Amino acid sequence: MSNSDAHKDKMKALQTEQRKKTSEATDPDRGLVLIHTGNGKGKSSSAFGVIARALGWSKKVGVVQFIKGKWITGERQFFAKFEDQLHWHTMGEGFTWDTQDKERDIAAAQAAFNRAIEMMKSGDYDLVVLDEINIAMRYEYLNVEQVLEGLKSRSDKTSVILTGRDAKQELCDYADLVTEMREVKHPFQSGIKAQRGIDF
Amino acid sequence: MSNSDAHKDKMKALQTEQRKKTSEATDPDRGLVLIHTGNGKGKSSSAFGVIARALGWSKKVGVVQFIKGKWITGERQFFAKFEDQLHWHTMGEGFTWDTQDKERDIAAAQAAFNRAIEMMKSGDYDLVVLDEINIAMRYEYLNVEQVLEGLKSRSDKTSVILTGRDAKQELCDYADLVTEMREVKHPFQSGIKAQRGIDF
């Protein structure tokens, strides 16, 4: 048997296996809950990538940003063009070390979460992104029980992505999918300034 | 000292530390090389999120997809609207188990890489995304030496993101940043059909 025939046979077997996997997969008939956590990059940006996908399929998307403040980011400038399909709320006050006011941080997080609940319950959105909400729980601006309850009250059609490091175990238990973005150590990595168009 | 004063003091110290970190960070004055690898989700989608950021800052972006074939994805439908800023080439023939023809897969990967080299060298792009190129190396459709050489020949202004599982160690050594997207096991995770607007 020639090399290319052997390759073909191997790939045919793989194709059968893949087709079986696909045909056995079930459609959940409800929106999924996805968590992006870990100490590496890509937690928020992959949520933004999923937003691009969703918009490409004419879906409706809501975003609530829990920590990020009013500074200008590439993503916000870009996605601002799609306000009929995408509602974007940046409701954080900035980094907790800049506000220096825990009460204010808590109030901002709770207000943001109220907005998130409205969006999740409304049935108006195919996808809701709760950006950096894990940080708000880590700092105890929100508690995990209220977030879990909020997720459970979502419309069946609504998928939710929660981002931020240190995701709570109870949320991971509930989620359909958890991805950890892990920073692989690298000598050049530290000490490079955040790059416009890459990091924000 | 009250609780809120204690919080304020702690945050002030943290702010000083953060400001020091930021002021010490250097600007590389050249495009970065970033790798998204691992067995989890988010490798391509976070590259798409970075594309959104870059477009938001009026930057020019090139994309070459090495594996994905001609089927319709949300990202391609969405980003097709930005052809003056974004040049997108889907040059794969599909999954290797569907083509069943190694020679054809190799030819497609090499053609895609030639396009990638042109883009990286041209100086026309702030960001070039080489989607799934790690898979092309894993299957030996491309060799790591030629990819490394291609990266080194890039214009100083051009950042490059390489995605796909099983990134080669030599590439990770060269890259400025490597993130591993790690699938955190979960009972509901397997056996859910790929979702339009989430997974593609």
Smallest CA–CA distance from B28 into chain A, residue? A192
The answer to the question of residue B69 being in a domain is yes
The band of A28, judged by pLDDT with boundaries at 50, 70 and 90, is confident
The answer to whether residue A1 neighbours chain B at the CB level (below 8 Å) is no
- Paired residues of B130 in beta bridges: B64, B162
Residues of chain A with C-beta less than 8 angstroms from the C-beta of B176: 186, 188-189, 192
B189 pLDDT more than 70: no
The answer to whether residue B23 neighbours chain A at the CB level (below 8 Å) is no
B145 pLDDT more than 80: yes
The band of A92, judged by pLDDT with boundaries at 50, 70 and 90, is confident
The range of the structural domain enclosing residue B82 comes to 28-180
Take residue A96 and report the two structure tokens written for it: 């907790």
Contact B57 A197 (CB under 8 A): yes
Q: How many domains does chain B have?
A: 1
Which has more confidence, A195 or A117? A117
The answer to the question of residue A85 being in a domain is yes
A11-18 average pLDDT score: 86
Take residue A24 and report the two structure tokens written for it: 């056995």
Single-letter residue type at A111: A
For residue B169, the number of C-alpha atoms closer than 13 Å in the C-beta half-sphere is 0
Q: How far apart are CA B32 and CA A196, in angstroms?
A: 12
Which has more confidence, B93 or A38? A38
Per-residue pLDDT, B25: 79
Residues of chain A with C-beta less than 8 angstroms from the C-beta of B14: 96-97
Per-residue pLDDT, B187: 52
The answer to the question of residue B154 being in a domain is yes
A188 pLDDT more than 90: no
| Selected residues 41-70 of chain B with any CB under 8 Å from a CB in chain A | 41-57, 59
Full DSSP string of B159-174? EEEEE-SS--HHHHHH
The answer to the question of residue A117 being in a domain is yes
The answer to the question of residue B16 being in a domain is no
Per-residue pLDDT, B154: 98
Between the alpha carbon of residue A48 and those of residues A61, A74, A200, B47, B65, the distances in Å are: 11, 11, 11, 9, 19
B59 pLDDT more than 90: yes
Per-residue pLDDT, B89: 94
Per-residue pLDDT, B2: 76
Per-residue pLDDT, A189: 59
For residue A79, the number of C-alpha atoms closer than 13 Å in the C-beta half-sphere is 32
Residue (of B113, B129, B132, B10) closest to B68 by Cα position: B132
Element (H, E) at B127: strand B127-131
Contact A52 B49 (CB under 8 A): yes
Contact A48 B53 (CB under 8 A): yes
Residues of chain B with C-beta less than 8 angstroms from the C-beta of A193: 22, 25-28
The answer to the question of residue A142 being in a domain is yes
CATH of the domain at B151: 3.40.50.300
Residue in A12, A46, A53 closest to B78 by CB: A53
The answer to the question of residue B191 being in a domain is no
The answer to the question of residue A129 being in a domain is yes
Per-residue pLDDT, A1: 64
